[in-house]
Amino acid sequence: MELPTYIKEVRQQLLADEISWREALECLQEATKKKKPWQYKEWRQERAILIKDSCLQCGISAESVPMVLQHLWQPRKLAIIFDQLTTAKIAANADLRNQYIDSLKKNSKKLNNIVIGDRECCPKCESTSIKFLKGSQAWKCSGTKSCKTITGYNRKVTCGNLFKEPAVRKELTPEQKREISKIKQDIWSKACVKFDEKSIRESHGKQAILESIQDSERYYSLKDTTTFCKKCAYLMDIKKLLLCPNCNDFLPISHVLICSPIMFIH
């Protein structure tokens, strides 16, 4: 059957830029909720002509079980169409964004002028997680490190070293680390605004809707159909299994595509 009139009208309005792609999408979604393809009179009439009296996969007769007109091809989801149209551009945009971020970090006076100071640490493991114990008048290290066990698993081991005088190492203070984190977050936010991915997807909205309508037109045509019994239709739609003619068994669609591609309609 041909595309329903409302879909043709939406396509024409979109091509003439009388409506936005978002408005077109809303119209299509609302109309589809009210009436499914198989509820049209034309669909039922063409189905009656196309459907056979036996399953073209397993061979069982319509006298034994009901038959269905099974689609061997399905329209792409809109999200997949968007991905196909924009993946390469989004990847290129991400590369430019990362280059911009690296440039901002390299030229940031705040990042480059932070002075790394001396911090007290454990003489044994150099961890700065140390605490002075007033009772024993000694320092204790609570730093941990990851060690492999005999069985190959990683486990945390606490240093626990007791010492009188801490060593000194160069390390950022917690305040400096927080400041650096904030600067990097600001740079990231600035880069995301400059290299916005949403604008890329938005610019392909019209093309995505038109391709979606084109997929619908193919689906409505019923040209990619065959006759299956309900069991074979269930196994294909729900379990993603088909009867492989070469292997004579129900196997994943991906296998049948390779083993016996001739049974698929392209």
pLDDT at 150: 76
Contact 69, 222 (CB under 8 A): yes
pLDDT at 3: 94
d(CA 99, CA 176): 25
CA 88 to chain CA centroid, nearest Å: 15
pLDDT at 263: 56
d(CA 205, CA 212): 10
Q: Which two tokens stand for residue 158?
A: 């606490």
What does pTM read for this prediction? Answer: 0.71
Alpha helices in 107-173 (DSSP H): 109-112
Q: At what angle do helices 78-106 and 174-194 cross, to 10 degrees?
A: 130
d(CA 118, CA 125): 16
Closest to 211 measured CA to CA, from 118, 86, 123: 86
Length of the chain: 266
pLDDT tens digits in sequence order for the chain, 266 residues long = 999 999 999 999 999 999 999 999 999 999 988 889 999 999 999 999 999 999 999 999 999 999 999 999 999 999 999 999 999 999 999 999 999 999 999 999 999 998 888 899 999 999 999 999 998 999 999 999 888 877 778 888 999 999 999 999 998 888 899 999 999 999 999 999 999 999 999 999 999 999 999 999 999 999 999 999 999 999 999 999 999 988 999 999 999 888 876 655 43
Q: Strand 130-133's sheet: what is its strand order?
A: 130-133, 138-141, 162-163
d(CA 62, CA 245): 21
d(CA 91, CA 163): 53
Can you point out the beta strands (E) in the chain? 67-71, 118-121, 130-133, 138-141, 144-148, 154-158, 162-163, 167-170, 225-229, 241-244, 249-252
**How do the domains of the chain map onto residue ranges?**
5-94+199-263, 117-171
